[in-house]
Amino acid sequence: MKKETLCVHSGTCRDRETRGVNTPVFTSTSFEYLDAAHTVYPRYFNTPNQRAVVEKLCALESAEDGLVFGSGMAAISTVVLALLGSGDHAVLQEDIYGGTHHFVTSELERFGIGYTFVSNDASEIEKAVRDETRMIFIESPSNPLLKITDIRAVAETAKRNNIVTVIDNTFATPINQNPAELGIDLVIHSGTKYLGGHSDICCGAVVGGRTLIERIRNSAVNLGGSLNALDCYLLERSMKTLAVRVERQCRNARQIAESLQEHPKVKRVYYPGLKSHPGHETARTQMKGFGAVVSFEVDEGRTRPAEFIRRLRLIRPAVSLGGVESIICSPAATSHEKLSDEERAGLGITGSLLRLSVGIEDCEDLMADIEQALA
């Protein structure tokens, strides 16, 4: 079945007694164990509400099994700590999510885990591989410049060297990109963004092959980052509209990107759907849609970025992304604030760069707001 249908139907755990059409919310943290095949407990990642969400995400990502967590970072840290140990080495894309970058640089050394950050170029990633490399961690499109990594090429490198591949697929969403079909082992989402989609739940997930997920589950039970029943229910409910939301968001984003590109007060637009984007050709081979984040640099000689943001009336200046409402932020002042000016310059993040997360509003209303604020 197609994505739209899977979003609505897959994973639903019907109540045989009432015959209601939705998964009921099972609030219990205590489950009877006599004659049970296995013990059910929220931290074991096996309650009905957790399973319903995982089944839906697996159907959308062509994966066998998965785990749902209390945040995207819980999913990321658990995957890394479950699969790597003292003496192991990981190769990571340098422009991965700031929280992941900070986790790696501030925690891994204590565990004796080595790491190398490289650009998103597949040949650079291959060159960084050592004998002790056990994991390659990528993110595409990346934040905030929407750089595109050649997913197939990275997966092939990893397979040749017997290395586990992990991708943070948050920006792409399972509607636009399915890395498991391109050879990636583990697909991670910050469900706080598009999967939740309403800026009201914090959650995360990893999906992949049964054997790897089982290995991760063994550590995940110890690390304890599972998601509670009520948020599982909200997430399941949100994901029913994932395909329609994302389709609309992508359509709005493309129109806004195209119009910004023509605007005299805008210096540069970053959107993988634009022919001018350096990753456009690769994106076309691995994405069905180009996502709903548009980054752009205003011409500082003609518009002060901070002033522009303050003058927006509809689009709110706020952190995070992926919700039904459009929001905007300055990466230099938020996600990349902790970096030095040189580090930011190295990553191509200037003070005039703005990241717009496009929502499901009427596109003309959004463009009119941008137009009046730029004016």
Ligand X SMILES: *Cc1c(COP(=O)(O)O)cnc(C)c1O
**283/119 Cα distance (integer angstroms):** 17
- Helix, strand, coil fractions of the chain, as percent rounded to 5: 40, 15, 45
The nearest distance, CB 360 to ligand X, in angstroms, is 19
**332/170 Cα distance (integer angstroms):** 21
Handedness of CA 334, 335, 339, 341 (dihedral sign): negative
The nearest distance, CB 166 to ligand X, in angstroms, is 11
Query: Of 70-78, 112-120, 288-296, 362-370, which part binds ligand X (CB under 6 A)?
Result: 70-78
- From candidates 77, 93, 149, 190, binder to ligand X by CB under 6 A: 190
Whichever of 68 and 374 has its CB closer to ligand X, that residue is 68
**364/87 Cα distance (integer angstroms):** 55
The nearest distance, CB 299 to ligand X, in angstroms, is 27
Whichever of 73 and 360 has its CB closer to ligand X, that residue is 73
Cα dihedral 312→316→321→325 (10° resolution): -100
- From candidates 11, 42, 144, 204, binder to ligand X by CB under 6 A: 204
Whichever of 77 and 157 has its CB closer to ligand X, that residue is 77
Site for ligand X, residues 1 to 60, rule: CB under 6 A: none
137 lines the binding site for ligand X (CB under 6 A): no
Q: What order do you get walking across the sheet with 293-298 strand by strand?
A: 266-270, 293-298, 353-357, 327-329, 316-317
- From candidates 11, 42, 66, 72, binder to ligand X by CB under 6 A: 72
- The DSSP 8-state label assigned to residue 43 in this structure reads G
233 lines the binding site for ligand X (CB under 6 A): no
Catalytic residues: 43, 97, 168, 193
Whichever of 208 and 308 has its CB closer to ligand X, that residue is 208
**329/306 Cα distance (integer angstroms):** 10
The nearest distance, CB 138 to ligand X, in angstroms, is 11
Whichever of 168 and 185 has its CB closer to ligand X, that residue is 168
- From candidates 143, 149, 173, 199, binder to ligand X by CB under 6 A: 143
161: which 2 tokens?
């060297």
State the number of binding residues for ligand X (CB under 6 A): 15
Quick check: helix, strand or coil at residue 19? coil
Question: Which residue's Cβ lies closest to ligand X?
Answer: 72
Site for ligand X, residues 145 to 184, rule: CB under 6 A: 168, 170-171
**165/163 Cα distance (integer angstroms):** 6
Question: Which phi and psi (to 5°) does residue 147 adopt?
Answer: -70, 145
Task: Please name every residue paired with 214 in a beta bridge, in sequence order, or none if there are none.
Answer: none
Strand pairing report for 133-139 and 164-168:
parallel
Nearest C-alpha neighbor of 347 from the set 358, 337, 359 = 337
Instruction: Give the per-residue contact string, 84-113, with ligand X (x = CB under 6 A; - = no).
Output: -------------x-x--------------
Quick check: helix, strand or coil at residue 304? coil
**221/224 Cα distance (integer angstroms):** 5
Q: Is 215 exposed, middle or buried (0-12, 13-18, 19+ CB in 10 A)?
A: middle
Instruction: Give the per-residue contact string, 294-323, with ligand X (x = CB under 6 A; - = no).
Output: ------------------------------
Query: Of 3-11, 120-128, 187-195, 291-299, which part binds ligand X (CB under 6 A)?
Result: 187-195
Whichever of 23 and 93 has its CB closer to ligand X, that residue is 93
Whichever of 31 and 103 has its CB closer to ligand X, that residue is 103
Quick check: helix, strand or coil at residue 95? coil
- From candidates 59, 67, 73, 294, binder to ligand X by CB under 6 A: 73
192 lines the binding site for ligand X (CB under 6 A): yes
Query: Of 18-26, 66-74, 157-165, 218-226, which part binds ligand X (CB under 6 A)?
Result: 66-74
Quick check: helix, strand or coil at residue 134? strand
The binding site for ligand X (CB under 6 A) comprises 71-73, 97, 99, 139, 143, 168, 170-171, 190, 192-193, 202, 204
